[in-house]
Amino acid sequence: MISGKLNELPAREAAVKLARREIGCEALARACLERIAAREPGVKAWTHIDPDQVIAQAKALDAGPVRGILHGLPAGVKDVIDTCDMPTAYGSPIYEGHRPAADAACVGMARAAGALIMGKTVSTEFATSHPGKTANPHNPRHTPGGSSSGSAAAVADRMLPLALGTQTGGSTIRPASFCGVVGFKPSFGLVNRAGVKPVAESLDTIGLFARSVADVALLFAGVTGCPEVAEIAEVPAPRVGIWRGAKWPEALPETVSAVEDAAARVARAGARVSEVEVPGEFAELAKAHHEIEYFEMARGFAYEFEHHREKLSEKFRSRIEHGRHCTLATYCESLALADQCRKRLAALFSDYDVLLTASAPGEAPEGLANTGNSVFNRNWTLLQVPCINLPGFAGPRGLPVGVQLVGRFREDPRLLACAEWAFRKLP
């Protein structure tokens, strides 16, 4: 394989070749850098990348022993996640040139497992809604989604095999759907968030991007320090519940078709598929998510709001103001509703192994002024359960459309196993 194609290797295959010294870390890094140099002017996925620093890391990895399951694998890091040797600006001009003293925990774990940190990928402003510069690699006139814009786009464009992001609303699953990659939001708290700029502490979750379920499981194993979860179990055809819910009318025809096609494909492969009767109180979760997010944002960004208000986007300022007007009673009521629905959802999982639902309303909208709607993501983030986007479908303009599988809280390996089973059945 010529060096210029090494960047297209699946992460798991590359990991085996790197561990056996069949390919070098430097050769793989150079292939990724070549791809970035060719494509970055149009995609704009990066806020920081230093080729000399990348090659120095790669040479050090080649010169030493195999460090772990991510040895030599290039990975991107969203620009709200601290890195000790690269700037982290949190998607805001307030922090331009900021140099953290230490790596975030997830970056530290990735490095300990041997990952080669390529650089920092574009985030929206503080991982919220105000967009960055990144374009969809399938069509630069369309959004890549957000807030993990650069991570999803870089993986989709084969600039590198793995990337870290975050999700507070839909910031991993939605851009994964828009860009046509696998995006995994683990159960809340399973990946340590130390060193990640908080948006809303009850919601923030580290997100992972790759081009296959097997590859995202490998990255999950690396950042959790649990190598056993890299080995995806073989499972029988799962019990699949189709989840529509109160927001289903917002699904565009391409998303409706994708979910129904996915349901039909897994049913033909032996899955037991049925419609879920969604409890009525789940219709209030979207509002509860907003109240919790804005309440926590208003307090977490007190410094930025008081001292750098002019450098915040209008949308960000309005959310802070909304949060400051939210009462403690409303906040606590929203938290209580989330607790109630988590219990109801756990009971529902006695009948299902996974839930099948939409990842996004449709294909990526045209324009870069907004990153799309997280209507099909917020509830799952609030409910703290693991979710994964599976690509394989397309919208009317030929842009990717994914479907989302949702698993039981803290049963992430089982979700990954069911997702791998389903991934093989999709287009």
- Nearest partner of 348 among 402, 277, 410, 269, judged by Cα: 277
Neighbours of 13 (CB within 10 A): 14
Name the residues annotated as catalytic.
Answer: 78, 147, 171
pLDDT at 3: 46
Q: What is the DSSP string of 117-172?
A: EEEEE---GGGSSS--S--BTTBTTB---SSSHHHHHHHHTTS-SEEEEEESSSTT
Residue 223, CA atoms < 13 Å, CB-side half-sphere: 33
Q: Indicate the burial class of 41 (C-beta count within 10 angstroms; 0-12, 13-18, 19 or more).
A: exposed
Q: Which residues contact 94 (CB under 8 A, 6 or more apart)?
A: 304, 308, 311, 312
pLDDT at 298: 98
State how far the Cα of 99 lies from the Cα of 109, in Å rounded to an integer. 19
State how far the Cα of 337 lies from the Cα of 128, in Å rounded to an integer. 23
Listed by start position, the domains of the chain span: 3-160+190-201+214-222, 283-333
Q: What are the angstrom distances between the C-alpha of 176 and each of 146, 173, 272?
A: 9, 5, 26
Measured CA angle at 287 (ends 286, 289), to 5 deg: 65
DSSP label of 185: E
The residue to which tokens 């059945």 are assigned: 425
For the chain, 427 residues long, the average pLDDT of each consecutive 10-residue run is: 76 98 98 98 98 98 97 98 98 98 98 98 98 98 98 98 98 98 98 98 98 98 98 97 97 98 98 97 97 98 98 98 98 98 97 98 97 98 98 98 98 98 96
Domain at 3-160+190-201+214-222: CATH code:
3.90.1300.10
pLDDT at 4: 52
pLDDT at 2: 41
Q: Indicate the burial class of 10 (C-beta count within 10 angstroms; 0-12, 13-18, 19 or more).
A: middle
Contact status, residue 418 vs residue 354, Cβ threshold 8 Å: yes
- Helix, strand, coil percent content, the chain, rounded in steps of 5: 45, 15, 40
